[in-house]
């Protein structure tokens, strides 16, 4: 197996906070999932700094981004890229290094690893081999958005990035409209107006919070219905920055089989499923009976073939 780990130094590692040098404590062998700031570099825990300084190696999506954090706190731990494109090659070497007693930190470009980033496969394979996994918790954009949106937070779901195509996006938004809690999504500022246009059609009464540039200088929360938010964005000439959406449908009302949200979900489902399976899956999601949707699914399937 190729050489993967850098040579380790016997000199204790340090990190520096506001000019104060702190000698870090040793950390246990294994993978250390380590949360990093999502914008403001001061939003990192002492434990995370100790982990990054004491680790034998830091795995990161982009070394250029992680290096800014390490430079801020004068941490000299070596870094190696780990992302979707090289994961299959890197994972066996990481696993072998951990088996020999190394401590490896895993970070994402921002926030908590494994939340919409490539760390899951590595953690899964380590767990399959019963190798040690540790966690240094910290900042998470979805949780921060949940706290700031001012919607009821006792029940929520995180759904990652919204699909780029309108039909698939509308289906997901319609499902958020039937969820008895808050749905959290990541969205690109380039697509936010298209997203809200779809939302205005399928969940026109839902309350939506756009949280953007969280922890940064221009942090902001804008609340309203999809149409109200479209008006605000139009007046501003667009939005910039990283966006996390929070959607709360309010009181959930019973949904009818011919509701446009059900029809939109069926149209999306029949693209990849037989009519019977599409009817079953959509019926389960909306609390309906398969027989109520089967004829509609068949009709939509036949219309799509013409």
Residue 8 has pLDDT above 70, yes or no: no
Reported as a single tens digit per residue, the pLDDT across 78-106 is 999 999 889 899 999 999 999 999 999 99
CB 104 within 8 A of CB 32: yes
Residue 240 has pLDDT above 60, yes or no: yes
Predicted local distance difference test score (pLDDT) of residue 253: 63
Reported as a single tens digit per residue, the pLDDT across 26-35 is 999 999 999 9
Residue 1 has pLDDT above 70, yes or no: no
Residues sharing a CB contact under 8 Å with residue 69, sequence separation 6 or more, in sequence order = 36, 37, 41, 44, 52, 75
Predicted local distance difference test score (pLDDT) of residue 258: 82
Structure tokens at 173: 């938004």
Predicted local distance difference test score (pLDDT) of residue 255: 75
Q: How far is CA 57 from the centre of its chain?
A: 24
The architecture in CATH of the region 142-248 reads 2-Layer Sandwich (3.30)
pTM value?
A: 0.77
- CATH hierarchy code of domain 14-139: 3.40.1010.10
Query: Can you give the residue ranges of every domain in the chain?
Result: 14-139, 142-248, 260-305
Residue 115 has pLDDT above 90, yes or no: no
Reported as a single tens digit per residue, the pLDDT across 287-302 is 788 888 899 999 888 8
Q: Is the dihedral of CA 105, 106, 109, 114 positive or negative?
A: negative
Taking the C-alpha atoms of residue 194 and residue 192, their distance in angstroms, rounded to an integer, is: 6
Predicted local distance difference test score (pLDDT) of residue 9: 54
Strand pairing category for 30-34 and 20-23: unpaired
């Amino acid at each position: 197996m190729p050489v993967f780990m850098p040579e380790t130094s016997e000199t204790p590692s340090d990190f520096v906070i506001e000019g104060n040098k702190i000698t870090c404590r040793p950390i246990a062998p294994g993978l250390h999932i380590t949360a990093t700031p999502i914008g403001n570099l001061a939003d990192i825990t002492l434990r995370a700094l100790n982990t990054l300084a004491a680790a034998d190696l830091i795995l990161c999506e982009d070394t250029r981004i992680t290096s800014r954090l390490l430079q801020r706190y004068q941490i000299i731990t070596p870094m190696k890229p780990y992302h979707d494109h090289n994961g299959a090659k890197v994972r066996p070497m990481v696993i072998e290094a951990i088996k020999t007693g190394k401590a490896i930190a895993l970070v994402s470009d921002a926030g908590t690893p494994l939340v919409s980033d490539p760390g899951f496969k590595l953690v899964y394979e380590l767990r399959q081999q019963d190798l040690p996994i540790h966690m240094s918790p910290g900042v998470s954009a979805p949780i921060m958005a949940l706290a700031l949106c001012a919607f009821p937070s006792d029940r929520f779901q995180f759904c990652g990035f919204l699909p780029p195509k309108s039909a698939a996006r509308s289906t997901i938004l319609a499902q958020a409209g039937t969820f008895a809690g808050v749905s959290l999504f990541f969205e690109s500022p380039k697509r936010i107006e298209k997203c809200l246009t779809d939302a205005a059609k399928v969940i026109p009464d839902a309350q939506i919070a756009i949280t953007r540039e969280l922890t940064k200088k221009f942090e902001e929360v804008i609340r309203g219905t999809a149409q109200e938010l479209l008006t605000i964005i139009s007046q501003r000439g667009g939005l910039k920055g990283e966006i996390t959406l929070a959607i709360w449908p309010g009181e959930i009302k019973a949904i009818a089989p011919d509701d446009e949200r059900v029809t939109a979900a069926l149209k999306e489902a029949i693209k990849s499923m037989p009519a019977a399976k599409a009817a079953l899956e959509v019926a389960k999601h909306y609390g309906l009976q398969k027989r109520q949707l089967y004829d509609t699914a068949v009709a939509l399937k036949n219309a799509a073939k013409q």
